């Protein structure tokens, strides 16, 4: 540990001398990390590797352990077991101030007694950079996040979005090895959130900095990340590119958590097919081993359901939501089943609330799982 710490300090010294390290980022590893709060396992043999320059988003419901994982990487939370490595060095026992990380918190992390410029320059001040140097660097970073004109303002004189931009600039000012984002957009309104999301991604790509982003907003995770990790009960359920997580979930939890799905009872048919909603569709390739005749639930995306106005249909439209080019339609089926389908708005004029419709599954189900009764 001592030599590794020494190496970190050596790297810091190199930076101070102007010999910058490779800006393409460092590899981050959390290996078999565990953290318990009483009886609750916030991290349960949690392992994650982030490649240099990569942005990984941890996604999951409240209490799944995603923030604990990020805080363990930051050193703000001590793990009960496991190893944390940054750039190949074991930093498990290092305090946060020696890990050379930058972090943007959910909100309210700017120092209220300092202007935006002083907030951004704070890390450089601790590194004993002279005042002109840190002011110049702070102004550059404020310019990068579009807030050069607000350099002299105190945090309470800035909007929520501006405060988060300053927090991002402050985190980047110290040229961190890894950038940590702890739900930095969750306190912002939708428009600012979308704008800042794009800015963070642009800056992260420009700087090539390895980034861990924690969020409960799947749209944020899917749109920003190189890879998305879905967590539940302290464990990583799936880690992969956004399209893979969305289209090929490894279990029912991931399928139901990422995107919208409808759970419909079905029976496995012959030839790797499944009989559902009166029709027959192929089983997913990865799940072709189900024995014929077995009762299952299939998870279907809204776009995999075709809804047509049909006076003899068994479905009853109970809700519909206009979303511009498409319409979301919720249909009640016999057996207390509700399904969500997406229709082109142009063809949904006859599918009105209270009307009878027929519902048909098309394509391949997202996932096939045990019936819910058996799960319970």
Partner 1 sequence: MAVTRLAGVPSPARSRIGADRGPAAPGRRSRGGRPRSRVARLLRFAGIVPFVAYFAVFLVVPSVSVVSSAFETVGGNFTWANITAALQGTYLVSFEKSLELSAISAGLSAVLGTVVAIALASTANVAARRVVTSASAVFANTGGLPLAFAFIASLGNFGIVTKVLSAMGWNPYDHGFSIYTLTGLVVVYCYFLLPLMVLVMLPAVDGLRREWFEAASLLGARRRDAWRHVGIPVLAPAFLAALMVLFTDAFAAYATAAALTNGSIPIVPIQIGSLIEGNVLAGQQNVGDALGLGMIVVVAVAATLYARLQHRAARWQR
Residue 317 pairs in a beta bridge with 331
Stretch that binds partner 1, among 169-177, 259-267, 286-294, 309-317 (CB under 8 A): 169-177
Number of residues that bind partner 1 (CB under 8 A): 30
For partner 1, the closer of residues 9 and 219 by Cβ is 9
Q: C-beta of 161: minimal distance to partner 1 in Å?
A: 17
Q: By rule CB under 8 A, what string of x and - marks binding of each residue 290-329 to partner 1?
A: ----------------------------------------
CB 215, min distance to partner 1, A: 17
As measured in angstroms, the least distance from the Cβ of 282 to partner 1 is 50
Write out the binding residues for partner 1, residues 68-107 only, by CB under 8 A. 74, 76, 95-99, 101-103, 105, 107
Of 158 and 261, nearer to partner 1 (C-beta) is 158
Find the binder of partner 1 among 32, 51, 108, 347 (CB under 8 A): 108
CB of 31 to partner 1, least distance (A): 22
Q: Closest Cα to residue 70, out of 54, 90, 88, 46?
A: 46
CB of 307 closer than 8 Å to CB of 329: yes
Cα(169)–Cα(325) distance, integer angstroms: 38
The angle, 0 to 180 degrees and rounded to 10, between the axes of the packed helices 131-144 and 160-173 is 130
Distance CA 165, CA 181 (A): 12
Residue closer to partner 1, measured from CB, 53 or 176: 176
CA distance 343 to 305: 9
Min dist. Cβ of residue 180 to partner 1 (A): 8
CB atoms within 10 A of CB 198: 12
Report whether 329 contacts 280 (CB < 8 A): no
**Residue 50 half-sphere exposure toward CB, CA atoms < 13 A:** 33
If the CB atoms of residues 122 and 253 are measured against partner 1, the closer one turns out to be 122
Q: Tell the smallest beta-carbon distance from residue 99 to partner 1 (Å).
A: 8
Query: Is residue 21 part of the contact set for partner 1 (CB under 8 A)?
Result: no
Nearer to partner 1, 107 or 337 (CB): 107
What x/- string results for residues 109 through 148 when contact with partner 1 is judged by CB under 8 A?
A: xxxxx--------xx-xxx---------------------
Cα separation, 174 vs 169, whole angstroms = 9
Residue 17 sits in the site that holds partner 1 (CB under 8 A): no
Q: Which residues of 133-163 are buried (b: 16+ CB within 10 A; e: fewer)?
A: ebbebbbebbebbebeebbebbbeebebbbb
Considering the complex, state which of residue 101 and residue 188 has its C-beta at the smaller distance from partner 1. Answer: 101
CA distances from 364 to 1, 276, 299, 360 (A): 51, 11, 10, 12
Binding residue (CB under 8 A) for partner 1 from 17, 39, 132, 156 = 156
Check residue 170 for interaction with partner 1 (CB under 8 A).
Answer: yes
At closest approach, how far in Å is the CB of 117 from partner 1? 15
Smaller CB separation from partner 1, 179 or 348:
179
Task: Assess contact for 94 and 178: CB atoms under 8 A.
Answer: no
How many CA atoms, within 13 angstroms, populate the side-chain half-sphere of residue 305? 29
Near partner 1 in 171-200, by CB under 8 A: 171, 174, 180
C-alpha distances out from residue 34 to 24, 93, 235, Å: 29, 14, 10
Q: Give SS3 for 157.
A: helix
171 vs 341, beta carbon nearer partner 1:
171
Site string for partner 1, 220-249 (x = CB under 8 A): ------------------------------
For residues 76 and 250, which CB has a smaller minimum distance to partner 1 in the complex?
76
Q: Could you please report the per-residue DSSP string of 266-299? A: EEEETTTEEEETTEEEEPPGGGTTPPTT-EEEEE
DSSP per residue, 25-45: ---EEEEEEEEEETTEEEEEE
Asked if 183 contacts 155 with a C-beta cutoff of 8 angstroms, the reply is no
Q: Give the residue with the Cβ less far from partner 1, 127 or 216.
A: 127
Positions touching partner 1 (CB under 8 A) are: 74, 76, 95-99, 101-103, 105, 107-113, 122-123, 125-127, 154, 156, 167, 170-171, 174, 180
């Amino acid at each position: 540990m001592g030599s590794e710490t020494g190496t970190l300090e050596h790297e810091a010294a190199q930076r101070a001398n102007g010999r910058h390290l490779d800006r393409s980022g460092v590899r981050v590893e959390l290996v078999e990390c565990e953290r318990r709060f009483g009886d609750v396992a916030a991290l349960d043999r949690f392992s994650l590797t982030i490649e240099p320059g990569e942005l990984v988003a941890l996604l999951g419901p409240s209490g799944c352990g995603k923030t604990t994982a990020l805080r363990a990487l930051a050193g703000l939370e001590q793990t009960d077991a496991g190893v944390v490595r940054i750039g190949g060095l074991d930093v498990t026992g290092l305090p946060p101030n020696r890990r050379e990380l930058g972090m943007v918190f959910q909100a309210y992390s700017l120092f209220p007694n300092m202007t935006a410029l002083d907030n951004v320059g704070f890390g450089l001040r601790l590194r004993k950079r002279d005042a002109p140097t840190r002011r110049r660097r702070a102004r550059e970073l404020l310019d990068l996040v579009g807030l050069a004109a607000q350099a002299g303002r105190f945090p309470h004189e800035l909007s929520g979005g501006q405060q988060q931009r300053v927090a991002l600039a402050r985190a980047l000012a110290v040229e961190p090895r890894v950038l940590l984002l702890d739900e930095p957009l969750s306190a912002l309104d939708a428009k600012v959130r979308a704008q800042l999301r794009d800015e963070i991604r642009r800056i992260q790509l420009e700087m090539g900095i390895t980034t861990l982003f924690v969020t409960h907003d799947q749209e944020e995770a899917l749109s920003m990340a190189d890879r998305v990790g879905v967590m539940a009960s302290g464990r990583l359920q799936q880690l992969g590119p956004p399209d893979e997580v969305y289209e090929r979930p490894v279990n029912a939890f991931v399928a139901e958590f990422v995107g919208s799905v409808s759970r419909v009872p079905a029976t496995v048919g012959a030839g790797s097919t499944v009989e559902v909603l009166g029709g027959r569709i192929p089983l997913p390739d990865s799940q072709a081993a189900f024995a014929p005749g077995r009762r299952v639930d299939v998870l279907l995306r809204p776009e995999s359901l075709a809804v047509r106005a049909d006076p003899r249909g068994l479905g009853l439209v109970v809700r519909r939501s206009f979303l511009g080019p498409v319409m979301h339609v919720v249909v009640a089926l016999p057996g207390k089943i509700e399904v969500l389908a997406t229709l082109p708005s142009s063809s949904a004029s006859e599918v009105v609330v209270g009307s009878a419709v027929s519902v048909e599954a098309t394509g391949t189900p997202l996932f096939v799982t045990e019936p819910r009764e058996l799960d319970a």
